[in-house]
């Protein structure tokens, strides 16, 4: 397995362009199953997760062509015909979001057999809300031997879907199914994340009639068919937030481009509170910090958008390991999402975890060590910590990173970070 080695202490200076959003791209790719015409997605990130989903879509009948166009990386998807409604475990298990092919398959063909996604290292994350949403649209759902058997021989029907709590994945899944359901569907207590708006915008370009995305109530007026479209994937707010924290951790001045500061406002507010200088501009934000001055400890509690993103919690914890005082970090979205804490402790961090709360007592300095990545966001928190740690930090099992960060080492390296990838065969990448 590949590893990443970081020699800490280098000041970061330069510019980092932010890629298209992973969390949006994979749902947009699933939307290609809803039409027999081409869906062209620009500003596409090249990630392990998009490759995994591409393989699954090809098995179901899609043509998937990656290229470099005038607007950067793009992917052309076309599913002239659904050749199989079967999504097997060996593909679905590689990425939870691939379970969201169930709704589009059901909406277009009236039947599907999709593997349950299985466990997750950051919590149970059950799919019962997904299935109840499809049942509200008239689907018959059976579970057998780890698979979901879904049928709607007469087509899906519009209905009222009310979620008991905010669920991004379930809201997106309901939206993907409802656009081809006959009649009107109203989704209440819907997730309000920007990726929801991006998905709705793309579906509307394809001929869907979706209103209210980005609010707690989404209304969908079903149509009989969708057409092809061209859509630019929104900027990745989690990548933007991650590099913002990295710049603050290492010290220096980094300009993040191809993004929007308002998408990570909750994070930026906490960074300013901690003593980091943040300068928004028209195409992103600049982050500045004098590393000779200690940060201030602050309290953070994760919340659905526009609150502090759970996907930035691990990164911010890494930043707080060097703050003056004690910071309290409360995780309210996922259980078991503090697995990075023991690895940060290997670098000398002082962290005490009690249930959904972590208390971080800042230390004067971190020391490089061997650490192990446990999930995507935890992985990058270790890289961030390594940027400031004395000596060398070796992050193992970085395949997690490749799921959600495009050219991480190159982007940080271009700003002066001493970072390199060591391939599984022992060779170092240039």
Sequence ranges of the binding site for UDP-N-acetyl-alpha-D-glucosamine:
96, 125-129, 311, 333
Q: Which of 120, 202, 258, 415 is catalytic?
A: 120
Rg (CA), the chain: 22
Q: What count of other Cβ atoms lies within 10 Å of the Cβ of residue 80?
A: 12
Q: Which residues of 377-404 are buried (b: 16+ CB within 10 A; e: fewer)?
A: bbbbbbbbbbbbbeeebbbbbbebbbbb
Sequence ranges of the binding site for phosphoenolpyruvate:
22-23
Nearest alpha carbon to residue 17 among 412, 348, 404: 412
Q: Considering all CA atoms of the chain, what is the largest pairwise distance in Å, rounded to the nearest integer?
A: 67
CB-based contact 41:231 (threshold 8 Å):
yes
Nearest alpha carbon to residue 166 among 216, 97, 92: 216
Residues 6+ apart with CB under 8 A from 50: 22, 25, 26, 29, 44, 75
Sequence ranges of the binding site:
22-23, 96, 125-129, 311, 333
- Is position 258 annotated as part of the catalytic site? no
- Cβ-in-10-Å burial (0-12, 13-18, 19+) of 239 comes to buried
The residues annotated as belonging to the active site are 120
């Amino acid at each position: 397995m590949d590893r990443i080695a970081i020699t800490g202490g280098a000041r970061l200076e330069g510019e980092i362009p932010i890629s298209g959003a992973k969390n949006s791209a994979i749902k947009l790719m699933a939307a290609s199953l809803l039409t027999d015409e081409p869906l062209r997605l620009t500003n596409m990130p090249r990630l392990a997760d998009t490759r995994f989903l591409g393989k699954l879509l090809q098995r179901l009948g899609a043509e998937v062509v990656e290229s470099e166009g005038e607007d950067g990386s793009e992917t052309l998807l076309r599913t002239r015909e659904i050749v199989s409604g079967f999504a097997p475990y060996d593909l679905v298990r590689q990425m939870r979001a691939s379970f969201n092919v169930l709704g589009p398959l059901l909406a277009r063909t009236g039947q599907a057999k999709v593997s349950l996604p299985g466990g997750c290292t950051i919590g149970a994350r059950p799919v019962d809300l997904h299935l109840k949403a499809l049942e509200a649209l008239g689907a018959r759902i059976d579970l057998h031997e780890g698979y979901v058997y879904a049928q709607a021989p007469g087509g899906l029907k519009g209905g009222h879907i009310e979620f008991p709590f905010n669920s991004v994945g379930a809201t997106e899944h309901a939206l993907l199914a409802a656009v081809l359901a006959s009649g009107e569907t109203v989704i209440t207590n819907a997730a309000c994340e920007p990726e929801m708006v991006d998905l709705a915008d793309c579906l509307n370009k394809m001929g869907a009639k979706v209103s209210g995305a980005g609010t707690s109530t989404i209304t969908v007026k079903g149509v009989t068919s969708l057409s092809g479209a061209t859509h630019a994937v929104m900027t990745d707010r989690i990548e933007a937030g991650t590099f913002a924290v990295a710049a603050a951790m290492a010290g220096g001045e980094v300009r993040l481009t191809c993004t929007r500061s308002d998408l990570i406002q909750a994070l930026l507010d906490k960074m300013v509170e901690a003593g980091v200088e943040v300068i928004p501009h028209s195409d992103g934000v600049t982050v500045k910090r004098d590393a000779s001055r200690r940060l201030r400890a602050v309290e953070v509690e994760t919340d659905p958008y526009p609150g502090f993103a759970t996907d930035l919690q691990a990164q911010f914890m890494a930043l707080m390991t060097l703050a003056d005082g004690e910071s309290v970090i409360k995780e309210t979205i996922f259980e078991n999402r503090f697995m990075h804490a023991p690895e940060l402790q290997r670098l000398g961090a002082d962290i005490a975890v009690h249930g959904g709360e972590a208390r971080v007592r800042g230390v004067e300095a971190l020391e490089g060590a061997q650490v192990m990545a446990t999930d995507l966001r935890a992985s990058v928190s270790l890289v961030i910590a390594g940027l400031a740690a004395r000596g060398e930090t070796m992050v193992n099992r970085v395949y997690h990173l490749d799921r959600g960060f495009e050219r991480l080492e190159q982007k940080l390296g271009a700003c002066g970070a001493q970072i390199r990838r060591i391939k599984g065969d022992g060779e170092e990448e240039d």
